[in-house]
Amino acid sequence: MTKRSALSKIGEFGFINVIKKMVKTDGSVLRGIGDDAAVLRFDKDKYLLLTVDMLIEGAHFRRNMNPYDIGHKALSCSISDIAAMGGLPKYAVMSVGLPKDLNISYAKSLYKGIIDTANKYKINLVGGDTNRSDKIIIDIALVGEVEKNKLVLRSKAKVGDLIFVTGFLGGSFKSGKHLRFIPRLNEARLLVDNYRINSMVDISDGLVQDLSHILEESRVGATIFAQAIPIDRTADLKSALYDGEDFELLFTISKKESRKLIKDALENNFSFSIRPIGMITDRKKGFSIVYGSGRERKLTVKGFRHF
């Protein structure tokens, strides 16, 4: 294979765009490729949500890590996707590839991590498949549901929206958060229950890269402020911008709604932190960051990519 024809030439998201152009869906699909989860027509009140995540040994975890935590992460990644759509997870199926010489107690602990996480979030594990593989591979498909008036997409950000994030960003690998993170399901539901959220995404591939998905789908630009970004104590600004695996929520909301949100957060002492970090702008302005000195520079969209 030549360099010109290799997947690395167009990258992970370039290849996704190639596949997106090849796929055709019928009227039952409200939203297909291009969001945290697919949105399917269901009944007069709700949509179905469908997402899938694959974890591969060597890319997402190492075998010497705690197998229980690996199992927790495997399901929590998909829960985070459902949360970013404003929904609730309901049913899961999983396919797991395991080396034939893997210790039985290790395999049981991995499954227990998945099962305990499913129980915690009231998810029904309803089937799956197990195969022999050279590396550990965990692939979980998750079905959720969301009320029609609470669905949040990447494509509805509006010029003038404020950009918010939950929690603290960066350092997920140093702190071990990438394995033990708590998906922001309750936080997402509080937001969609009480405020008009225009767009939302979970931060899995890095703040810059995941915000760029909103900008692309909504056809807008953004300005973020370096001093406003909540950086984890184990990280620096570069890590907070690009590292990924934080699994925090990034969302946009009108100025009017944001005033209500901030007031409520202060008065009701939310159990989680939220922070405005920037503003949605006209697409012509592009994507930039402003430093404390007032210097502004255009951001290069990068973050974690598989190729």
**Would you say 164 and 258 are in contact if contact means Cβ atoms under 8 Å apart?**
yes
Predicted confidence (pLDDT) per residue in 255-298, tens digit = 999 999 999 999 998 999 999 999 999 999 999 999 999 999 99
Asked if the model's pLDDT at residue 1 lies above 50, the reply is: no
The answer to whether residues 307 and 59 touch, using CB atoms and an 8 Å cutoff, is: no
Q: Is residue 304 part of a domain?
A: no
**Same-domain status, 142 and 170:** no
Closest listed residue to residue 235, CA positions, set 172, 286, 297: 172
Q: What is the pLDDT of residue 131?
A: 96
- From 95, 125, 149, the end of a domain falls on 149
Which CATH number fits the domain that encloses residue 208? 3.90.650.10
Q: Give the pLDDT confidence of 9-66 residue by residue, as tens digits.
A: 766 667 767 777 787 889 899 988 889 999 999 999 999 999 999 999 998 999 999 9
Contact call for residues 81 and 153 (beta carbons, < 8 A): no
Average pLDDT rounded to a whole number, residues 180-192: 97
Name the residue among 70, 118, 120 with its Cα closest to residue 93: 118
- Residues 110-130: tens digit of each pLDDT: 999 999 999 999 999 999 999
Considering the domain architecture, whether residues 100 and 210 belong to the same structural domain is answered as no
Do residues 137 and 167 share a domain? no
CATH code for the domain in which residue 83 is found: 3.30.1330.10
pLDDT, residue 20, reads 72
162 vs 180: CA distance, rounded Å: 29
Q: What is the pLDDT of residue 32?
A: 87
Q: Compute the mean pLDDT over every residue in the chain, rounded to the nearest whole number.
A: 93
pLDDT of 307 strictly over 50: no
Strands (DSSP E) found in 79-166: 88-98, 124-132, 137-147, 162-166
Q: Judge if 77 and 209 occupy the same domain.
A: no
Instruction: Judge whether 115 and 105 are in contact, CB under 8 Å.
Output: no
Residue at 76 is within a domain? yes
